[in-house]
Structure 1
Amino acid sequence: MRILVVGAGATGGYFGARLVQAGRDVTFLVRPRRADRMAERGLRVTGLGERTVLRPRVIGVEDIDGPYDLVLLAVKATGLDQAVADVARAVGPDTLIVPFLNGLRHIDTLAARFGDGALLGGVAKVATALDAQGDIVRLADAQDLRYGARRGTAPARLAEVHRVLSDAGFPTGLSADIDTEMWSKWIFIASVGAVTCLMRGSVGEVVAVPGGAEFAGAVVEECASVAAAAGHPAPDPALRQTLASVTQEGSPLTSSLYRDVTQGFSAEVEQVFGDLVRRADEFGIAVPLLGLATTHLRVHQNRVEGTRVG
């Protein structure tokens, strides 16, 4: 299968690199600035003792020569609209798209543009970040891809997708209920993001103060209540893992949202929090802590955008 990885950042770049190493037919679609950096330094994966340098096939929008078999979409949710426009020429009648974005709002956007039949659900779990030089830095030994047909869809070539993504240097799984898995990841992302961004510290720093663990638990409860109302209650093991992650004493865990905020970068406020609060309002569920996190991060986002305009 011809694979197009849209985005070569911390997530797409990492899993794309592993697929390249496994001999898959992979092309990266990137913006000009990222293309220049990759031309200069290659695609580098570092951290945890690794020093990998690859020279994969890299193209811009103008270089797309026709449809690909599989599109792996791994951009920040704030860049989704541009990515949809960029990738349109690479999507044909037999193309399957697997998005690995936070939240669920992107599903509606992609389905409206390319149709339900082309769209799988996907969950990526990886602890990576881009450093100042654009290299992918591994922060922990977490790496996992899950994907599958969403409820009400029956995409062709699903087994072939699973075959080409498997045995490529990271665990994979063809999910029988990818919708619930996407909701479970949303609960985790929103919980860790709210706890660390509101309190401006790591999980360990939050739970070290009186009331910190109780606050973190209340955040998880709010997130889980929205998922349950939507018909996708988090499985008990996933919920226990999320609760343990945000209440672990001494944990250095933060979140990509926290890193974006503390470094003055744009954050996925509406995709992770705004959409979750909107759904809670529709279900008539009170989520005051999530509402507080949303307002807090919207102030940050306005600040970032005002700086960019100025």
Structure 2
Amino acid sequence: MHIVIIGVGGVGGYFGGKISNSNQKVTLIARGKHLEAIQKKGLQVKSINGDFITHPFLATDRIDIVEKADLVLICTKSWQVPEAAELVKPILKEDTIVIPLQNGADNAEKVSTVLGVKHVLGGLCRIYSKIEAPGVISHFGHQPDVVFGELDKSKTNRLQKVKEVFDQAGFNNSISGDIEVDIWSKFMFITTVSGLGALTRVTIGEMYENKGTRHVLEQTATEIYKVGIAKGVSLPEDIVDRIMTFIGKQPYESTASMQRDIMEGRPSELDNFNGFIVKEGIKAEVLTPVNTFIHSCLQPMEAKARI
């Protein structure tokens, strides 16, 4: 199979690197100094599970020279997904599989709008990773895993084909029976810690151990749960408690990528996280005062970063 990775940041760099390092045919779509470093020296991955350097089949910023793909992993930020999906069009075959792996609740829907639902699987990943330097990915927390599944909950042969790719790469992965629930569960976690983390500018451990901020985390998650239920997502009744327990088990010094982006003055996924809940809450007539407060407070910094 030919696997194409769109976006070679912390997520695409790690998982794309692992697939490439298992002697599978991988093309990395990157840009700038990061791309130049990969082309010259290969992609270096520093990982708590062991470091490696891999030389992919191709690393480029030109989609016009890329061979047709069997599997595409979109690993950009959530606000870049529509543009990334457009980029995929020239390399589609009739049976190309496309999986968005970034955080966010509606990425599969965005990709389906551009490419057609028949190409798309829902997906998510769990990992703490980032670009450390051009050509260098740092995986510094969490045992990486990918969860994926058909949007209509069906069991298909192509799911097994994807699993074979991931199994050969050597990272944990699983086929979901209800990928929408899994996506929203991950979304609840990442949105809850990202927004408040960006506002307080402290670590996940510091937020969780403080009684006041822990209560705000729980309120944020509860609002997300209510919006999800209103949208017809079959979230379990105890999901907020489970997410809070999960937050409490995170590495004390960890922070979310959205928080780091905002603190460093970069465009972030604010509108795709807390902003998404505010917008969908209005549509569903569900009150979201905590998410609204967090989104409103962070919006001036987000606007400044996009000038």
Q: TM-score, normalised by structure 2?
A: 0.91
Would you say 1:64 and 2:65 are equivalent positions? yes
Give the aligned residue type for 2:8.
A
Against the structure 1 CA distance between its residues 251 and 66, is the aligned structure 2 distance closer, same or farther, given a 3 Å change threshold? closer
1:50 Cα shift? 3.2
Task: Give, in whole Å, the separation in 2 of the partners of 1:133 and 1:33.
Answer: 6
Instruction: Please give the alpha-carbon distance, in whole angstroms, between the structure 2 residues aligned to 1:173 and 1:49.
Output: 19
Q: Alignment partner of 2:306: what SS?
A: helix
Q: Which residue of 1 aligns with 2:241?
A: 240
In the aligned structure 2, how far is the partner of 1:298 from the partner of 1:61?
33
Give the whole-Å Cα distance in 2 for the aligned partners of 1:300 and 1:88: 34
Question: Is 1:151–1:179's contact at 8 Å kept on the other side of the alignment?
Answer: no
Structure 1: runs of 5 or more not aligned: none
Match runs of 1:72-151 below 5 Å: 72-151=73-152
Aligned to 2:253: 252
* 1:288 Cα offset (Å): 0.8
Q: Which amino acid aligns with 2:54?
A: L
**Helix, strand or coil: the match of 1:50?**
coil
1:52 equivalenced with 2:55 (yes/no): no
Q: CA distance change for structure 1 residues 39 and 115 in 2, over 3 Å: closer, same or farther?
A: same
Q: What corresponds to 1:276 in structure 2?
A: 277
1:90-239 matches, cutoff 5 A = 90-151=91-152, 157-235=158-236, 239=240
Residue by residue, what CA displacement relative to the aligned partner does 1:80-138 show, whole Å, maximum 9, x if unpaired? 23322322111121111011122133323211221111110001111111114441111
**Which stretch of the first structure deviates more once superposed, 8-17 or 215-224?**
215-224
Residue 31 of structure 1 aligns with which residue?
Answer: 31
Distance in 1 (alpha carbons) for counterparts of 2:204 and 2:80:
28
1:216–1:246 Cα contact (<8 Å) kept:
no
> SS at 2:17's partner residue?
helix
Per mean C-alpha deviation after superposition, the further-off stretch among 265-274 and 28-37 is: 28-37
Distance 2:205 2:29 in 1: 38
What is the deviation of 1:301? 1.2
Report the 3-state secondary structure (helix = DSSP H, G, I; strand = E; otherwise coil) of the residue aligned with 1:157: helix
Give the direction of change, closer, same or farther, for the CA distance of 1:256–1:249 in structure 2 (3 Å limit): closer
The equivalent residue for 1:264 is 265
SS in structure 2 at match of 1:131: strand
**Contact 2:277 / 2:288 at 8 angstroms: preserved in 1?**
no
| Partner deviation per Cα, 1:120-159 (whole Å, 9 max, x = no partner) | 0001111111114441111114200011100277766232
* Alpha-carbon distance between aligned partners in 1 of 2:170 and 2:177, rounded to the nearest angstrom: 22
Counterparts in 2 of 1:291 and 1:152: CA distance versus 1, 3 Å: same
Change (3 A) 1:282 1:42: same
In the alignment, structure 1 residue 291 sits paired with structure 2 residue 292: yes
| Residue pair 1:118, 1:155 contacting (<8 A) in 2 also | no
In the superposition, relative to structure 1, how do residues 280 and 147 fare at CA in structure 2: closer, same or farther (>3 Å)? same
Q: Distance in 2 between matches of 1:48 and 1:248?
A: 18
Give the number of equivalent residue pairs.
306
Q: Which amino acid aligns with 1:224?
A: Y
Letter in 1 for 2:104: G
Distance 1:295 1:94, change over 3 A: same
1:11 matches 2:11: yes
CA deviation vs aligned residue, 1:247-296 (integer Å, no higher than 9, x gap): 56992232111111111111112211222211111111111111112112
Residues 19, 168 of structure 2: 8 Å contact kept = no
**Cα 1:141–1:189 shift into 2, 3 Å:** closer
Q: Is the 8 A contact 2:270 2:302 kept in 1?
A: yes
User: In the alignment, residue 70 of structure 1 is paired with which amino acid?
Assistant: L
My pick for the range that moved more, 269-278 or 57-66, is 57-66
- For 2:32 and 2:134, how far apart are their aligned partners in 1? 15
